[in-house]
C-alpha cells in the first residue's frame, strides 16, 4: 500500500460536485476530476457530508462541542451553522430544501 495516497471516505455526489472526508476535513472536487479544495479546517473530524438537492448547501456531522451535532454551510465553504442540539447518535442521511433561515 502506498502511504502517500490520501484516504478518501464518505463521498456525497450532487450533479458535478463531490464532497468527501479526508485528513479530518471536508473537501470538494469536480466529478470530472482536478484538484480538491478544502472546505473545513476545524478541530474535530466531520462525518457523513450530504449536499442539498440544489447543490448549494452542505450538511454534515461534527464533534466541535465534544458530541456529534449536525451543521450546515455553503457548498463552496464558509462558516458552518449548527442545526441540532441532540448529541449522541446524530447522523446526516439525506437532504431536502432547507428552511429560509438556514439558507
- pLDDT tens string 72-100: 999 999 999 998 887 666 656 555 554 43
Answer for the pair 10, 20: CB distance below 8 angstroms, yes or no: yes
Per the structure, the complete domain to which residue 21 belongs is given by 9-102
* Position 4 in a domain: no
* Position 2 in a domain: no
Considering only residues 2 and 65, tell me which one the structure prediction assigns the higher pLDDT: 65
Residue 27 vs residues 9, 38, 84: alpha-carbon distances, Å: 10, 4, 22
With 0.75 as the threshold, say if the pTM is over it. Answer: yes
Q: What is the pLDDT of residue 102?
A: 38
Q: What is the pLDDT of residue 6?
A: 66
Considering only residues 94 and 24, tell me which one the structure prediction assigns the higher pLDDT: 24
- pLDDT tens string 26-79: 999 999 999 999 999 877 889 999 999 999 999 999 987 778 899 999 999 999
Considering only residues 2 and 53, tell me which one the structure prediction assigns the higher pLDDT: 53
Q: What is the pLDDT of residue 56?
A: 94
Q: What is the pLDDT of residue 100?
A: 39
How many domains does one find in the chain?
A: 1
3-class SS of residue 28: strand
Task: Give the CATH number for residue 16.
Answer: 2.120.10.30
* Position 76 in a domain: yes
| Beta strand extents in the chain (DSSP E only) | 9-14, 17-22, 25-30, 37-38, 47-51, 57-62, 69-74, 81-82
Amino acid at each position: 500500500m502506498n502511504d502517500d495516497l490520501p484516504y478518501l471516505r464518505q463521498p456525497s455526489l450532487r450533479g458535478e460536485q463531490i464532497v468527501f472526508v479526508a485528513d479530518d476535513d471536508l473537501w470538494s472536487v469536480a466529478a470530472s476530476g482536478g484538484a480538491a479544495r478544502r472546505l473545513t479546517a476545524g478541530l474535530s473530524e466531520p462525518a457523513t457530508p450530504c449536499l442539498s438537492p440544489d447543490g448549494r448547501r452542505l450538511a454534515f456531522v461534527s464533534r466541535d462541542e465534544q458530541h456529534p451535532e449536525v451543521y450546515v454551510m455553503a457548498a463552496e465553504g464558509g462558516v458552518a451553522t449548527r442545526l441540532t442540539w441532540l448529541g449522541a447518535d446524530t447522523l446526516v442521511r439525506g437532504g431536502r430544501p432547507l428552511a429560509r433561515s438556514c439558507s
